[in-house]
């Protein structure tokens, strides 16, 4: 089965769930949204976008906290044939200014709490925004902006989805690299369908009786599948949470809404297991958990299973492949491994000569499958490096054992994954060096007691200058997305360098291991 040539993913989901109009699709911090309401509000949003002059194929920036207006915005944009560009809510005005300019978004859908940051980004120029919709505004609206609910109330639902092809650009997600600006990863309408058919249904075995809850927000490819594509493809219910997924915030939802499937990342599972307020097994209704973002240490999965009697299914996906392509399976979990390739995806480990490596040897991970992105928008060089004749280069290193199970062996580039989110060491180093007391800096990954990667900065101060560890951490936190600041910081007299002056980060990594 493949989706038909004329295919609109939002229209497809609404057709699929028409009989479920009264069932709950979403529960957020403010209330519930039934399948019928989800369809009606999304079709109204589509009409409101059209009324604001937004046309097929035009980009719409979606800068929203997880809540019931998020899926309405995403699906409504798809329904209108527009292309939602879903962005991380933790970024800086500089980041959004770049994304507005790069995507040429003609409209923005924004949560009231994020409006000041967006306005600062828009004031930096270089955007084409003609329509602004504000969900749950905190104060007066800027001139020309529309309040989300009022905009929906002012129009009739769009009668039918705007015609789109299954291979048309459907939406974008931004993916970060070790150097340069984030890359606009362009996905099709069909790619969403493929991730549900290849992974959400057969591997996770989701059904309409499930209640899904994802710690990963919907602007991440992982969260989008967990909290939208998969549950809506089977008529399940989704719990959404705007706040940060701290252990306490997560526990509250586990106990109050009784999710049956929870999607998290290793750092989150480790934090929850360490919490004195970890709920009792009887207080929750979890039947299965999923983990991605970074490799899950086997010990964490085992302790979790011991406490809750529930498996954590570890897998790896990417923004470029849209969701998970190697995974453990319920009932077949090999702790410490990422599992086996998901059916429908081919996976190869290649050596430096580009040829497949034998079992047991480390190789670069390449994937071939139908949910691969079309390209990075307006970035031919990076597109060519990553999307190679049907194969997608992941940037991860892996080994495969004789039974076909894959084990993570690190990144091929300098990128770090902290709490499941990519962090470029160069960006953190460059920010530290903006501090007047800092001469130079080098950032590496350092494993904490749970075996999870955190950032560590080595800093050389200028002669006669002084700065404290906390001051430098705060300096980075103020200038970059808060998750990027170095958790560990050490002052050193000099950094190890090659004869040509290149920082030898591997020496710092070796030093940390001693």
Give the interface with ligand 3SK as residue ranges (CB under 6 A). 221-222, 292-293, 316-319, 323-324, 420
Q: Rank residues 287 and 417 by Cβ distance to ligand 3SK and give the closer one.
A: 417
CB of 7 to ligand 3SK, least distance (A): 22
Nearest C-alpha neighbor of 320 from the set 458, 431, 172, 433: 172
Half-sphere exposure of 26 (CA within 13 A, CB side): 27
Name the closest residue to ligand 3SK (Cβ): 317
CB of 323 to ligand 3SK, least distance (A): 5
Sign of the CA dihedral running 176, 178, 181, 184: negative
- For 310-437, strand residue ranges (E) read 312-317, 324-327, 340-341, 346-350, 363-368, 375-376, 387-388, 391-400, 406-411, 416-418, 421-423
CB of 234 to ligand 3SK, least distance (A): 18
**Token pair for 42:** 């999304």
CB of 285 to ligand 3SK, least distance (A): 24
Nearest C-alpha neighbor of 77 from the set 104, 102, 54: 54
Residues 6+ apart with CB under 8 A from 352: none
Residue written as tokens 């955190």? 454
Helices (H), 143-297: 148-153, 189-195, 221-224, 230-234, 247-257, 266-274
Q: Rank residues 77 and 319 by Cβ distance to ligand 3SK and give the closer one.
A: 319
Q: Rank residues 316 and 415 by Cβ distance to ligand 3SK and give the closer one.
A: 316
Q: Rank residues 23 and 329 by Cβ distance to ligand 3SK and give the closer one.
A: 329
CB of 252 to ligand 3SK, least distance (A): 25
Residue 274: what are its φ and ψ, rounded to 5°? -85, -10
Q: Rank residues 35 and 376 by Cβ distance to ligand 3SK and give the closer one.
A: 376
CB of 129 to ligand 3SK, least distance (A): 28
Q: Rank residues 37 and 412 by Cβ distance to ligand 3SK and give the closer one.
A: 412
Helices (H), 394-451: 425-432
Residues 6+ apart with CB under 8 A from 272: 247, 250, 251, 278
Residues 6+ apart with CB under 8 A from 481: 88, 90, 91, 92, 95
Cα–Cα dist 81/62, whole Å = 15
Q: How many CB atoms lie within 10 A of CB 78?
A: 27
CB of 35 to ligand 3SK, least distance (A): 25
Q: Rank residues 194 and 458 by Cβ distance to ligand 3SK and give the closer one.
A: 194
In which element (H, E) is residue 262 found?
strand 261-264
Sign of the CA dihedral running 33, 35, 37, 40: positive
CB of 267 to ligand 3SK, least distance (A): 12
CB of 367 to ligand 3SK, least distance (A): 12
Q: How much of the chain is helix, strand and coil, in % rounded to 5?
A: 30, 25, 40
CB of 291 to ligand 3SK, least distance (A): 9
Q: Rank residues 335 and 491 by Cβ distance to ligand 3SK and give the closer one.
A: 335
Compute CA distances 44 → 35, 38, 132, 175, 399, whole Å.
14, 10, 15, 30, 49
The sheet carrying 83-86 orders its strands as 146-147, 131-135, 107-111, 59-63, 83-86, 169-175, 183-188, 375-376
CB of 320 to ligand 3SK, least distance (A): 8
CB of 292 to ligand 3SK, least distance (A): 4
Q: Rank residues 216 and 461 by Cβ distance to ligand 3SK and give the closer one.
A: 216
Q: Rank residues 293 and 363 by Cβ distance to ligand 3SK and give the closer one.
A: 293
Q: Rank residues 166 and 319 by Cβ distance to ligand 3SK and give the closer one.
A: 319
CB of 211 to ligand 3SK, least distance (A): 20
Q: Rank residues 108 and 321 by Cβ distance to ligand 3SK and give the closer one.
A: 321
Cα–Cα dist 112/134, whole Å = 6
Q: Rank residues 36 and 344 by Cβ distance to ligand 3SK and give the closer one.
A: 344
Cα–Cα dist 136/384, whole Å = 41
CB-CB contact of 199 with 229 (8 Å) = no
């Amino acid at each position: 089965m493949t989706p038909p040539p004329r295919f609109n993913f939002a229209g497809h989901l609404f057709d699929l769930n028409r009989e479920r109009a009264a069932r709950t699709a979403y529960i957020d911090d403010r209330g519930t949204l039934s399948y019928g309401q989800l369809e009606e509000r999304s079709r109204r949003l589509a009409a409101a976008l059209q009324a604001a002059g937004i046309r097929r194929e035009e980009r719409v920036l979606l800068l929203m906290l997880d809540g019931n207006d998020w899926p309405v915005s995403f699906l409504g944009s798809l329904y209108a044939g527009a292309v939602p560009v879903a962005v991380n809510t933790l970024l800086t005005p500089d980041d959004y200014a770049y994304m507005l300019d790069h995507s040429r978004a003609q409209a923005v859908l924004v949560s009231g709490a994020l409006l000041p940051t967006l306005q600062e980004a828009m004031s930096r120029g270089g955007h084409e925004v003609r329509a602004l919709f504000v969900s749950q505004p905190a104060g007066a609206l800027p001139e020309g902006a529309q309040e989300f609910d009022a905009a929906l109330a002012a129009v009739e639902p769009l009668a039918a989805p705007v015609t789109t092809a299954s291979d048309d650009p459907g939406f974008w997600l931004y993916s970060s690299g070790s150097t340069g600006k984030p890359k606009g990863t362009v996905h099709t309408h069909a790619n969403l369908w493929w991730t549900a058919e290849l992974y959400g249904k057969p591997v996770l075995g989701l059904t309409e009786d499930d209640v899904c809850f994802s710690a990963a927000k919907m602007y991440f490819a992982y969260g989008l599948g967990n909290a939208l594509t998969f549950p809506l493809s089977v008529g399940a219910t989704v719990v959404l949470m705007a706040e940060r997924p701290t252990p306490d915030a997560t526990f509250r939802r586990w106990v109050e809404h009784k999710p049956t499937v929870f999607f998290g990342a290793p750092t989150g599972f480790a934090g929850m297991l360490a919490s004195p307020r970890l709920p009792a097994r009887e207080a929750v209704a979890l039947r299965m958990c999923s983990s991605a973002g970074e490799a899950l240490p086997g010990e964490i999965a085992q302790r979790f299973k011991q406490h809750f009697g529930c498996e954590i299914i570890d897998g790896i996906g990417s923004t470029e492949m849209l969701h998970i392509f190697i995974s453990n399976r319920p009932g077949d979990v090999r702790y410490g491994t990422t599992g086996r390739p998901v059916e429908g995806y081919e996976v190869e480990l290649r050596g430096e000569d580009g040829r497949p490596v034998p079992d047991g040897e480390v190789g670069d991970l390449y994937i071939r499958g139908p949910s691969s992105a079309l390209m990075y928008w307006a970035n031919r060089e990076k597109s060519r490096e990553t999307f190679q004749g049907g194969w997608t280069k992941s940037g991860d290193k892996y080994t495969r054992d004789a039974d076909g199970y894959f084990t993570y062996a690190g990144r091929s580039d300098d990128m770090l994954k902290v709490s499941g989110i990519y962090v470029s060491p160069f960006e953190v180093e460059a920010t530290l060096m903006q501090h007047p007391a800092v001469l130079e800096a080098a950032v590496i990954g350092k494993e904490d007691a749970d075996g999870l990667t955190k950032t560590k900065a080595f800093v050389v101060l200028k002669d006669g200058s002084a700065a404290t560890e906390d001051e430098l951490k705060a300096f980075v936190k103020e200038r970059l997305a808060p998750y990027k600041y170095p958790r560990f910081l050490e002052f050193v007299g000099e950094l190890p360098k090659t004869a040509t002056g290149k920082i030898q980060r591997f020496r710092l990594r070796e030093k940390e291991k001693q």
